[in-house]
Amino acid sequence: MILSSFSDPARWAQQQWGDAALGDARRTRRAVQLGTVLASRPEASLPQQTGSWGELKAAYRLLNEPDVTYAALSEPHWQATRQQAAQTDTVLLVQDTSELDFTAHRQTTGLGWTGDKRGRGFLLHSCLAVRPDAVPEILGVAAQRVWTRHEVKKGTETRAVRFKRRKETDVWAELVEEIGPAAPDQYWVSVSDRASDIFSFVRRARAQGWHCLWRVGQNRAVLAGRTNKTKLLLNWARRLPAQTETSLTLRGRADQPPRTIRLQVAWSAVTLCPPCNGPERAQEPVSGWCVRCWEAGKRKNALDWILFTTVPVTDAATALERIEWYRLRWIVEEYHKALKTGCAMEQRQLRRGPGLLALLGLLAIVAVRLLQLRTIARTAPDTPASQVIEPEFVETAARLQGGSADTMTADQFWRTVAGLGGFLGRKGDGDPGWQTLWRGWQRLQDLCWGLHQMPIPGKECG
């Protein structure tokens, strides 16, 4: 995809919030204006972004209007993302939960507890729609839920009441049902981590025509093997013999550089048994497949993934494809980093929780824009830059590098951009961070603008 929206944040903001129902057309116009400046300088504070006391007061008034809610600002983007997903045969709906921590903002009201109950903030659950092409395409946020935790005193509920009360883990299935059913000829696959290893979740997702793919977190009872006898999933999966192998490049982390490893891969059909306690015990078993990939040897912290999926796994090719799909789960983690670091959401100092949530309705979508930029930088290094970046930006970056725009790759382009933001690119530096990459992009935009203002030789007046 060509990232045309990055050269015109005003047009992009109009697409995101131009149809937001905020109770007054003037509020909608103001939301578009505020979204434009947030997208232009996502990491800056509101005073820096708005640029004047009058504009800052207008932004505060907008964010404190009762009709300007997180849901009202987010809904147009969610609907647009779902429409794109409905036109795609295979879509990965990548889910995860994160905390928004405002513990340091003691005067902010309307927050709940987080972490060990000494923190204050919100819980945020995001579902991103991703097209799993050779270069993964992030369609946007298909649904999102934000809530506060409040204390329930011990001894005030019976066991029956606790079973009926909504649990935080219900959010996984609730977002699936909110997005709606998949068409019969589509693969909509929820991709998630071990926190989603919940029997009711897969049952409710299958009722919507969805498929699931998660990393197994519970050593639950399953029917497996030729005898179809009851076994414990993790114990049984670790005894499966290797059927193929593949290589995998692990992203670098703070304590270890990137590395390429060889993985053994095994797979088999399996049936999840319902839990023996609780309201799900009367439900029918759920059929699926187990895929295990592991790093041979006795290396410390060796990779060992055991995945469950309802998408058929019939041979080596489909097993490897499921592993590649699961690898894309990191996108939702990067999205939350984009929101917290790239958009500085946790540094916002509004005094009221509803105002923070309204601002989240803007920044949560700006974070998608940042993520699209970062994902292309990481996942398409050898792609010709001209295929994913507008020509004017490629030409300017090529001039700075002293090379040709025709031969510049996406990796060369993004490293040039990161260099403009202060990235040194030394051997141990790893990948450029959110703020470095975004500063470089802004600098490149300024350079492109300056080049376009220069007079063309032979066209000067006089």
Q: What is the pTM of this model?
A: 0.86
For residue 259, report the phi and psi dihedrals to the nearest 5 degrees: -150, 150
Question: What does the block give as tokens for 198?
Answer: 């919940």
Identify the pLDDT of residue 403: 84
Q: Which part of the chain has CATH 1.10.740.10? A: 380-453
What burial class does residue 298 get, using C-beta atoms within 10 Å of its C-beta: 0-12 exposed, 13-18 middle, 19+ buried? exposed
* pLDDT tens-digit series, residues 2-12: 455 556 788 88
Q: Is 380-453 a domain of CATH 3.30.1360.70?
A: no
* Residues in CB range of 323: below 8 A, 6 or more apart: 246, 248, 263, 265, 291, 293, 305, 307
The conformation of residue 341, written as its DSSP 8-state character, comes to: I
CATH of domain 4-68+351-376: 1.10.246.40
Identify the pLDDT of residue 249: 78
Identify the pLDDT of residue 162: 59
Q: Tens-of-pLDDT digits for all 462 residues of the chain? A: 445 555 678 888 999 999 999 999 999 999 999 999 998 888 888 998 888 999 999 999 999 999 999 999 999 999 999 999 999 999 999 999 999 999 999 889 999 999 888 899 999 999 999 999 877 889 999 999 999 987 655 555 655 555 566 789 999 999 999 999 999 989 999 999 999 999 999 999 999 999 999 999 999 999 987 777 889 999 999 999 999 999 887 766 655 667 788 999 999 999 999 998 878 888 999 999 999 999 987 777 788 999 999 999 999 999 999 999 999 999 999 999 999 988 889 999 899 999 999 999 999 999 998 888 777 666 667 778 877 777 888 888 888 888 888 888 888 888 888 888 888 877 666 677 767 777 787 788 778 767 655 554 454 444
Q: Which part of the chain has CATH 1.10.246.40? A: 4-68+351-376
Question: What does the block give as tokens for 193?
Answer: 């981590």
Whole-number Å distance between alpha carbons of 19 and 31: 10
